[in-house]
Amino acid sequence: MTAPHRRSFPDLPSTIETVHIIGICGSAMGSLAAMLTDRGYTVRGSDANAYPPMSTWLEERGIDIMLGYDESNLDWEPDVVIVGNVCRSTYADAVATRERGFAHLSLPEALRHFFFEDRRPLVITGTHGKSTTTSMLAWIMTHAGRDPGFMLGGIAGNFDSNYRLGNGDIFVIEGDEYDTAYFDKVPKFWHYAPFRATINNVEFDHADIYPDIEAIEGVFRRFVELIPDGGSLWVNGDDRRALAVSEHAEAPRRTFGLGEDNDLRADQVELAGRNTRFRVILGGEVLGTIELPTIGEFNIRNALGAMAIAMDEGLSFDQVRVALAEFKAVKKRQEYIGSGNGVDVYDDFAHHPTAVAATLRAMRNQFPESRLWALFEATSNTSRRRVFQDKYPPAFSVADQVIISSPREKTDNLSDKERIDVGELSAAIGDHGPTTRLIPDVDDIVATVADEAQSGDVVVGLSGASFGGIHQKLVAALKQRDAGD
């Protein structure tokens, strides 16, 4: 459950030179460690497990990793401790942090303190599309010479990184509504002091944190109140909840989307291979045409949201147009992995039912003549829960072939009643039309698809995690079959 307010910001030492991070091997915490190191701080950290690629990535930057959560991890007497969401209050180094009086921060508190000072935060929020929109905006501003800082929840294709310090006066940040730390039980985006923001969409998600959609709507309403009247807010006007949670904004609120009532909208959409072309209209005035090297209606909305904030920051439409033509997708967001035997393989982060449906619909629209395979791993905190059991089957209906894997084992408190039933899921998807199978093991899935897929087929692996490397394994198997033929 979410606390009603952020905690008061703690007193920190007047001079900070050393930082310890609990849970350092998480993707966000590892990136924070690297950002602090780049700023000249000495950083060490602890985690239960350390393995490539994160462990080697940190070691290459001279960041020491201590295995386990022992109180001795703090014997080097760091000036500040930063505590990741993975850390529980009972962990020995967390207990020692409190008992020994170390100043400690959550991830978003640390970002705001160390990286947002004297900068305008541009915050991208919403249930879906945050990473892509953040990456688009960061690239647009960088291409225009504004040198922004940024941080997002994926590897940005234009930067081959999920962060950049930058020296400009803005910081582009992905605003997540997930909670923050055991001592800071509020959404991350409440910490970010947004000057400008987007709300891409609002849906029920994070069932491990929020009891219902009303709770999520509540935290978005509070977020909207944080935007000053001198800033700006853009919301997806095609999403009724995004409109509802933002209706009392003090900042100027405008809308983007594909509907005719939006202030900034797209029309004349054309699909061409892996590209999308569309016309942009602002307040009734035609601005021009965008050529976007991604697919899907949702990516048009992502581009409009990024464009809106960029133009509020003084960029011209032409600057936006040129930058978006060179945009490279975030890793695991409809990422083309490779081909073999005439079969294309894609990797996508979709694991919420709506994201699954949007991704598969985009693939179907882009490749209408292809046989579409959907491989799905229910392993994230969202997809593992039975709360979405009945929402998933229709999301797969546009696919021709669906294979469901068994979720990897995770240490959690989910009972059998709370956990999704993948056997039941497989049968229900089949009732919606696709040929559907439950194949528990990744290697068996690879062997099946490599044997049955035909030239011209498109395969997309859907998972909020690595899916056991299935995408690369499948490309290799298809190429081997191609060579054998």
Domain ranges of the chain: 18-109, 116-325, 335-484
CATH assignment, 18-109: 3.40.50.720
Residue 21, pLDDT above cutoff 90: yes
> What confidence tier does 411 reach under pLDDT thresholds 50, 70, 90?
low
Average pLDDT over residues 101-115: 95
Comparing C-alpha atoms, which of 460, 485, 467 is closest to residue 343? 460
Q: Is the CATH number of domain 335-484 3.90.190.20?
A: yes
Average pLDDT over residues 394-399: 92
| 40-57 pLDDT, tens digit each | 999 999 998 877 677 888
Q: How far is CA 442 from CA 71, 449, 471, in A?
A: 38, 11, 10
Which residues are within 8 A (CB) of 17 and not within 5 positions of it... i.e. 6 or more apart? Answer: 41, 42, 79
Burial (Cβ within 10 Å: 0-12, 13-18, ≥19) of residue 198: buried
Tokens at residue 56, please? 């080697």
CATH class of the domain whose range is 116-325: alpha beta
Average pLDDT over residues 388-396: 86
Helix (H, G, I), strand (E, B) or coil at 340: strand
Residue with tokens 């859907």: 462
| 200-227 pLDDT, tens digit each | 989 877 667 777 889 889 999 999 999 9
Residue 259, pLDDT score: 95
Cis upstream peptide for 53 (omega within 30°): yes
- For 373, other C-beta atoms within 10 Å of its C-beta total 26
**Partners of 21 in the beta sheet?**
45, 82
Lowest mean pLDDT among 59-63, 204-208, 275-279: 204-208
Average pLDDT over residues 319-328: 96
Residue 412, pLDDT above cutoff 60: no
Tokens at residue 271, please? 């699909």
Q: How far is CA 250 from CA 68, 436, 449, in A?
A: 46, 49, 53
**What whole-number distance in Å separates Cα of residue 483 and Cα of residue 485?**
5
Residue 35, pLDDT score: 94
Residue 410, pLDDT score: 55
- The sheet with strand 335-340 has its strands ordered as 335-340, 343-348, 458-462, 372-376, 401-404, 435-438
Residue 155, pLDDT score: 78
On whether the CB atoms of residues 21 and 80 are closer than 8 A, the answer is: no
The mean predicted confidence, pLDDT, of the chain is: 90
Residue 473, pLDDT above cutoff 80: yes
Residue 334, pLDDT score: 77
pTM for the full predicted model: 0.80
On whether the CB atoms of residues 399 and 359 are closer than 8 A, the answer is: no
Average pLDDT over residues 269-287: 91
**What whole-number distance in Å separates Cα of residue 195 and Cα of residue 217?**
20
Average pLDDT over residues 11-30: 92
Residue 114, pLDDT score: 96
Tokens at residue 462, please? 């859907």
DSSP notation for 157-213: TTTTEEEE--SSSEEEEE---SEEETTEEEEGGGGS--SEEEE-------TTT-SSH
Residue 352, pLDDT score: 81
Lowest mean pLDDT among 286-290, 292-296, 320-324: 292-296
